[in-house]
Structures are given as structure tokens and as C-alpha cells.
Amino acid sequence: MAYPPAAHSSPPRQPSVKVILAAADVSRVVDRIAHQILEKTQGAADTVLLGIPTRGVPLAHRLADRISTFEDVTVPVGVLDITLYRDDLRRHATRAVGPTDLPPGGIDGKRVILVDDVLFSGRTVRAALDALSDVGRPASVQLAVLVDRGHRQLPIRADYVGKNIPTALAENVKVTLAETDGTDEVRLYGGSL
């Protein structure tokens, strides 16, 4: 990827775009996380995958799908909407509330793995932990993310990371998935040079 020529006069610069993971890379990364989950959880027994909307949900389904392919075990998948638990509700116009959908067996006493696309400040995960404690009492909670871009603002870390991407704060990581956006890709949008 070529950087745009450094310009000293005022016209706004085009932000640079860099593809970090292409479709094949995304699929390999999801496979690896599925293997790591199986390894770390002794075959994914008593485990529930909970996707955080929007893109955590298709990722959770893919992980469950890969796990059943590799080891022939069915891991229940659910959705955990965190809208009402966000700490920035008052900074934006009212956000629409999405569905929370727990698997029929519930989450009490289970190992819950939260799934999201990008781990950044950690605030989404904080909200998810609060939401989780209101819907049940899991035995333990783990976190799987496709991308960790750093810049944590809370003491939170992921148990399974697809790809660590060192970023500057001004940069922006965008994950697209076939289910929600048509293609699998992870892109890094550069800030100023």
C-alpha cells in the first residue's frame, strides 16, 4: 500500500486504507480460534458462545460451526445485546435496543465465551459483563475477538485473539463479514500521516 504523497498545502488528505485480513485470512483465523477454544476448554464441554451484536453474532455462529466440524460437539449459541448497559448512552441520540437471545439451556453454571469483532477500549466488554450478570450466573466468562487493536481504557483482556493489530488512536479498524456486509475483510483506515 502506497501512502499518498505528503502534501504541505491544505486540501484534505485521503485517509489511507490497508487490508489487514482478506477473506481467506478471516476464515483461517476463525478456524484457529475454534481450535484454541477446544484446547483451552477440554473439548468445549459446558460452553456457551454469546455473540455481541452486530458482528459478534455471526462470528459466534461460525465458531460453533467450526467446533462442530472439528470435534463433532454442538456448542449452544446466543445473542447478548448490551445497548442498555452502555456507559455512553447519554452522549448519543437514543439507540435502538436489540434482542437478547439466550440458548434454551441458559447460562447458569456454564462457561460463557463472549464473542466480538474488535476489542478496543474494553467498554463494550464491560457492558457485556454487566448485562451477563443480570441474565444469569455463569461459572466463568471468557472473551474471543477477531481483532485486538489495543488502547484499552479498562482492565480487560481477551482469552482468544484472532489478530493483534498495533494501531494509532487516530486510525480506525473496520471488520466486515459476509453475513452482515457481503464480504469478509478487516481493514485499517489511517488517520493523518
Binding residues for other proteins, rule: CB under 8 A, are 81, 84-85, 89-100, 130, 133-136
Nearest residue (CB) to other proteins, 8 versus 92: 92
Residue 126 beta carbon to other proteins: minimum distance, rounded to whole angstroms: 12
Nearest to 143 by CA among 163, 121, 128, 165: 128
Taking the complex as a whole, the smallest distance from the CB of residue 85 to other proteins amounts, in Å, to 6
Residue 14 or 94: the one with the smaller Cβ distance to other proteins is: 94
Q: Nearer to other proteins by C-beta: 127 or 158?
A: 127
DSSP-assigned beta bridge partners for residue 174: 187
Based on CB atoms, which residue is closest to other proteins, 72 or 88? 88
Q: How far is CA 11 from CA 98, 130, 190, in A?
A: 41, 45, 17
Residue type, 178: A
User: Residue 112: phi, psi to the nearest 5?
Assistant: -95, 130
Residues sharing a CB contact under 8 Å with residue 98, sequence separation 6 or more, in sequence order: 53, 79, 81, 83
Please report how close the Cβ of residue 125 comes to other proteins at its closest, in angstroms. 16
| Shortest Å distance, C-beta 4 to other proteins | 36
